[in-house]
Amino acid sequence: MTPTLDELRAAIDAELEGWLSETLQGTGPIAEPIRYAVLAKGKRIRPLLFVGAWEAAGGVRGPIAANGASALHRTALGPELVHTYSLVHDDLPCMDDDDLRRGRPTVHVRYGERAAVMTGAALLPLAIRAVAEGAAGLGLPDPVAGRLIGILTAAAGSDGMVGGQLLDLLAEKKRVSFEALARIHLGKTARLIAACCTMGGVAARAPEETVDRLTRFGIAIGLAFQTVDDILDVTGSSSRMGKIGGRDEALGKATTPSILGLEGARARAEQFGREALGEIAPLAEPGRLREIGRLVLDRDR
């Protein structure tokens, strides 16, 4: 029986906690801030997308190693660890200077700036390790495992999340074009979300046409995700979101509402959602991805 989204999220959380306990054993004081950052209650959109893409690409019908579910979920931890690293660094005083994340004090507030910098630095190699171990557990050949790591690290790096975050910082308190905003959103958010979907297709050993569809779905749903984030910063409740609202305006961020207005931003998010769902319509098992897509568009935190 296919697990519900909540059951899948709980299984991913269990894999994350168990794997961290094993992996961080004996690593010294860095273990505590890593666990604090990673195990905070989150939406887990990225690992859910990885599993959903794997299902949509027909992975549920293919051969899988004996420890299949655990290995699949471990592979899915890679993008979540990269995402958490980005949040830890994004909250630092030299970046967006946030005191609250996921309803708790940010890592630098709780443990200090030095520990926060080191925590973010530690999460990237942990992400690569999780993907490598998960791929081995799934019985994937080394070239496929290498491709998964390459997809993740490319999305996290200079042409993806890190580069996009710098563009975001450089655009503060400046007038930017909608095209420039799209480049920021593509880099800092959509490329990593798309990588989750691409990796799911690759892990399922899907045809390249299917992998390309999943990538395009991921780009569209990633842009929708960031657009909704921009909207919630204006309209959302800080207590519900677990972070302080209104920060984009306070920092002079370039956002979709600042350029298109709230109604224009909402229409833009729905447009991205329609594009995303159109991409996966021909796939074998798109139900999970449809559900996650709706979750992205309808979320209030």
β-pairing, 100-101 vs 104-105, is antiparallel
What's the average model confidence in pLDDT over 98-108? 92
Question: Which pLDDT tens digit goes with each residue over 136-192?
Answer: 999 999 999 999 999 999 999 999 999 999 999 999 999 899 899 999 999 999 999
Phi, psi of 144 (to 5 degrees): -70, -45
Q: What is the pLDDT of residue 66?
A: 43
Contact between 198 and 213 under an 8 Å Cβ cutoff? The reply is no
Between 243 and 277, name the one with better pLDDT.
Answer: 277
Cβ neighbour number for residue 192 with a 10 Å cutoff = 23
Residues β-bridged to residue 104: 101
Q: What is the DSSP letter of 60?
A: G
Q: What is the pLDDT of residue 76?
A: 98
Contact between 76 and 204 under an 8 Å Cβ cutoff? The reply is no
Provide the pLDDT confidence category of residue 246 given band limits of 50, 70 and 90: confident
Provide the pLDDT confidence category of residue 300 given band limits of 50, 70 and 90: confident
Average pLDDT, the chain: 92
Between 64 and 290, name the one with better pLDDT.
Answer: 290
Provide the pLDDT confidence category of residue 131 given band limits of 50, 70 and 90: very high
Q: What is the pLDDT of residue 237?
A: 64
Q: What is the DSSP letter of 206?
A: -
- Asked if CATH classification 1.10.600.10 holds for the domain at 5-298, the reply, yes or no, is yes
* DSSP output for 90-114: HTSTTTT--SEETTEE-HHHHH-HH
Q: What is the pLDDT of residue 65?
A: 44
Give yes or no for residue 239 having a pLDDT over 70: no
Distance (Å) of CA 144 to CA 139, 196, 208: 10, 15, 13
The predicted model scores a pTM of 0.94
What's the average model confidence in pLDDT over 24-44? 94
Token pair, residue 22, equals: 């094993």
Q: What is the DSSP letter of 204?
A: T
Provide the pLDDT confidence category of residue 63 given band limits of 50, 70 and 90: low
Q: Is 23 exposed, middle or buried (0-12, 13-18, 19+ CB in 10 A)?
A: middle
Give yes or no for residue 129 having a pLDDT over 60: yes
Name the percent of the chain lying above pLDDT 70: 94
Provide the pLDDT confidence category of residue 125 given band limits of 50, 70 and 90: very high
Token pair, residue 40, equals: 């905070």
Residues β-bridged to residue 100: 105
Query: How distant is the alpha carbon of residue 275 from its chain centre?
Result: 19
